[in-house]
Structure 1
Amino acid sequence: MIRAVDPIRQMAPYALADLGGPDTVSLAQNESAFPASPAAVAAGQAALADLTLYPDPDWPEMRAAIADVHGLDPARVLCGAGSMELIGCLIRAFAGPGDQVLGTQYGYAFVASATAQAQAQYVAAPEDDLTVSVDAILATVTPKTRIVFVCNPGNPTGTLIPNGEILRLRAALPADLLLVVDQAYAEFADNDNDPAEIFALADRGDTVITRTFSKAYGLAGARAGWGYFPAGIAEELRKLLNPNNISTASQAAATAAMHDQEHMRDVVTRTATIRDRFAQDCRDLGLSVPESHTNFVLVRFADAEMARKADAALRAHDLMMRGMGGYSLSECLRATVCEKTVMDRCLAVLKEVTS
């Protein structure tokens, strides 16, 4: 029998979303409720006319668009097949056997998987009422900690801490410890937190910020993410990135999407309106829903049994939310914000379950 090496055999597989059957409406993966920019779709389609060449490994137009919109140095923008590729490569580059990667209690689960791949140890600092606690993170740092990973806004909680807390965290951490701020949902919170304040942390040489086109830009299928890096960290990361990691069509679509900020902001506004209405409607049913700064809401039931009952009822109506047992939140379901008609269907089912 051919056997994988021991560290891989001991790993648990990354938990993929259950998407149900062919007629199921998925609210499980935090995809956009609305289509991508027409300009992005047109650019991607045009790029399909010539697929004989490999994609440009330097993503010149894509990184220039990102830098232009956010006021960044394009040389320090790196692009990945979703921000997941960048996160995985960061952990492999800067942590290994005997090291610790520090996340938070309800932080992005992929970080733990990527840490196991690097044969490092994943440690989670407690959160305070489903919200990142800087004091708890600082109290959990040890001499073995090499990377601190903060997801802000949080996934799966949707909660947000102000930029001032991120700045306080960075100032209190040792200078030789890498801070990664994952902002996959930042476009939904940029009106609350000035993004320039966080991007400026990369100038210190010890902080990386990651973002994605999968959420607010509606390009989850394109697998396009990006990050802002100190020059020295970017140099090391390039050694691990697939040199042709983003297809020509995806680069073209992402570039056009970044230039169409008006469309992205409209999607964010429309999504937030549906999200906040659905969240309040759930609260009116007696359910607990923390304020969300993302394109999803975390719905908390009285107990795990009630959450399972709601999940079964939703599935019976061809609706699929994401169970949160893997985050030790078995009393919760996470609901991606979809068009209002879908959310109304979900609400009707929840009303039956809770009545």
Structure 2
Amino acid sequence: MIRPVPHVGAMAAYALADLGGEGTISLAQNESAFAASPAAIAAGRSAMADLPLYPDPEWPELRTAIADVHGLDPARVLCGAGSMELIGCLIRAYAGPGDRVLGTDYGYAFVSSAAAQVQADYVKAREIDLTVSVDDILAAIRPKTRIVFVCNPGNPTGTLIPNAEILRLRDGLPGDVLLVVDQAYAEFSDYANDPAEIFALAVRGDTVVMRTFSKAYGLAGARAGWGYFPPEIANEVRKLLNPNNISIASQTAAAAAMRDQDHMKDVVFRTAGIRGRFAEDCRALGLTVPESHTNFVLLRFASAEDAHRADAALRAENLLMRGMGGYRLADCLRATICETPVMDRCLAILKGVLK
């Protein structure tokens, strides 16, 4: 029998969302409720004529668009096949057997899988009221801690800490610990937190900031993410990236989407409106719903049994939310915000269950 190396054989596969059967409407993937920018769709279609060619490994058009919109140095921007690729490469570059990668109670679960791939120990600092606690992260630092990952806004909680807390965290970390700020949902919270303050940390040489086109830009299928890196860290990560990692069509579509900020902001505005109404209606049913700064809400039921009954009732109507048992939140379901008619259907079912 051909066997894998022991640590890979002992790993569990990364758990993707259950997508249900044919005809199911998924509220489990945190995809956009609305289509991508028409300019992005048109640009992607036009780029299909170049498919006989390999994509440019320097992502020049995409890097320039990101830098122009955010006021950044394009040389510090790295692009990945979703931010997942960048996270995986960062961990492979800066952690190894016996090192510690520190996340938080409800941080992005893929970080744990990426740490296991290099035989590093993934450790979680406590969150308080489903919210990142800088004091608890700092208390969890040990001599073998190499990387700290913070999701802000958080997933699956949707909660947000102010930039001042991120800055306090960075100032409290040892200089040889890399801070990674995962901002996959930041477009939904940029109104509250000035993004320039966090991007400026990358200039210090000890912090990486991640973003993606999968959420507010409606390009999950394009697999395009990006990060702002100190040059020395970017050089090491580049060694591990697939040199042709983002297709020509995806690069072109993402660049056009980035330049169409009006469309992105309209998507964020419409999503937030539906999210706010749905969250308030759920609270009126007796559910606990933390204030969300993302394109989803976390619904906390009185018990795990209630959450399971709600999940079953939704599935019976071909509606699928994300169970949170893997995060030790068995009394919760996470609901991606969809268009209003879908959310109204979900609410009607929840009302029936909670009677």
Which range, TM-score by smaller chain?
over 0.9
Moved over 3 A (4+): none
Query: Partners of 1:178 and 1:203 in 2: how far apart?
Result: 13
Distance 2:53 2:35 in 1: 28
Give the whole-Å Cα distance in 2 for the aligned partners of 1:189 and 1:4: 43
The 2-side partners of 1:22 and 1:192 are apart by 39
Amino acid at match of 2:218: G
In 2, the alpha carbon distance for the partners of 1:91 and 1:352 equals: 45
Deviation string, structure 1 residues 211-262 (Cα, Å, up to 9, x no partner): 0000000000000000000000000000000000000000000000000000
- The runs of 5 or more residues in structure 2 that have no matched partner are none
Aligned-partner SS, 1:330: coil
- Show the counterpart of 2:3: 3
Q: Which residue of 2 aligns with 1:281?
A: 281
Cα drift, residue 17 of structure 1: 0.6
Give the letter for the 1:182 counterpart.
D
Give a deviation string over 1:70-119, Cα, whole Å, max 9, x none: 00000000000000000010011000001000000010000000000111
Distance 1:158 1:118 in 2: 29
Return the offset for 1:50: 2.1
For 2:279 and 2:141, how far apart are their aligned partners in 1?
Answer: 35
Q: Give matches, 1:301-316, under 5 Å.
A: 301-316=301-316
Determine what percentage of the aligned residue pairs are the same residue: 78
Distance 1:88 1:247 in 2: 19
- Whole-Å separation in 2 of the counterparts to 1:29 and 1:7: 29
Residue matched to 2:80: 80
CA distance in 2, matches of 1:276, 1:4: 48
Deviation digits for residues 23-71 of structure 1, max 9, x if unmatched?
0000000000000000000000000012111000000000000000000
RMSD, aligned α-carbons: 0.4
The CA deviation string for residues 105-134 of structure 1, in whole angstroms up to 9 with x for no partner, is 010000000000111000000000000000
The residue aligned with 1:106 is 106
Give the letter aligned to residue 265 of structure 1. Answer: K
* Structure 2 counterpart of 1:290: 290
Question: Residues 10-159 of structure 1: matches in 2 within 5 Å?
Answer: 10-159=10-159
Question: Per-residue displacement from partner, 1:292-332 (whole Å, max 9, x unpaired)?
Answer: 00000000001111100000000001000000000000000
Matched, 1:245 2:245: yes
Amino acid at match of 1:214: S
Q: Distance in 2 between matches of 1:238 and 1:16?
A: 27
Q: What's the CA shift string for 1:175-231, capped at 9, x where partnerless?
A: 110000000000000000000000000011000000000000000000000000000
Number of residues of Structure 1 aligned to a counterpart in Structure 2: 355
TM-score by length of 2: 1.00
Q: Deviations over 1:121-150 (max 9, x none)?
A: 000000000000000000000001000000
Letter in 2 for 1:243: P
Q: Can you give the 5+ residue segments of structure 1 that lack an aligned partner in the other structure?
A: none
What secondary structure is seen at the aligned counterpart in 1 of 2:128? coil
For 2:93 and 2:229, locate their aligned partners in 1 and report how far apart those are by CA, in whole Å.
13
Secondary structure at the residue paired with 1:98? coil
Q: Tell me how far 1:338 sits from its aligned partner.
A: 0.2
Amino acid paired to 1:287: L
